[in-house]
Amino acid sequence: MPRFNLTAIAQTNATGYPAPHAAAVRGRWVRRLGPALGLADFGVSHVTLKPGAASSHRHWHEDEDEFIVMLAGQAVLMEEGCRTLMRAGDMAAFPKGEPNGHQLLNESEADCEFLAFGRVPLGDAHYPDIDLHWSAGCYHHKDGSRY
């Protein structure tokens, strides 16, 4: 049966971000639905942001399209020089290769929830606001040295 119980899928707030960058996503809770449901061609995650939490640091991918659907609550979509309030039912798309970093920030006093679609990126990810770059499967400083 394709229908599933969301709460039966483990939720985690683990992050691969190196210190000190991990603190921004401490209030991000993720259920990785794709692996749990046997999806192989794309990923989908159910994400809950606690008040004050970020979905990620502002970033963009060279080779991964991303798509989000807000389910509940509200968050601010941060892009280069732009803030957009996102509410339940709102959607946003981030085509690969567009150098416009994005992130969601929960500036409200209640949890927000969204679905994030994409796949595991194979290429570089850029973080324009901080000293962080994803390349060759790991995080680096912008000078190329590894974390």
pLDDT in tens, the chain (147 residues): 689 999 999 999 999 999 999 999 999 999 999 999 999 999 999 999 999 999 999 999 999 999 999 999 999 999 999 999 999 999 999 999 999 999 999 999 999 999 999 988 889 999 999 999 999 999 999 999 999
pTM value is 0.95
Give the model's pLDDT for residue 3: 92
Give the model's pLDDT for residue 1: 63
Give the model's pLDDT for residue 4: 95
Here the tokens at position 139 are 């995080």
Give the model's pLDDT for residue 121: 82
The domain limits of the chain are 18-140
Query: What's the rounded Cα separation, in Å, for the pair 123 and 99?
Result: 14
Give the model's pLDDT for residue 87: 98
How many other C-beta atoms can be found within 10 angstroms of the C-beta atom of residue 133?
18
CATH number for the segment(s) 18-140? 2.60.120.10
Give the model's pLDDT for residue 128: 97
Nearest alpha-carbon partner for 21 in 66, 45, 56 = 56
Give the model's pLDDT for residue 48: 98
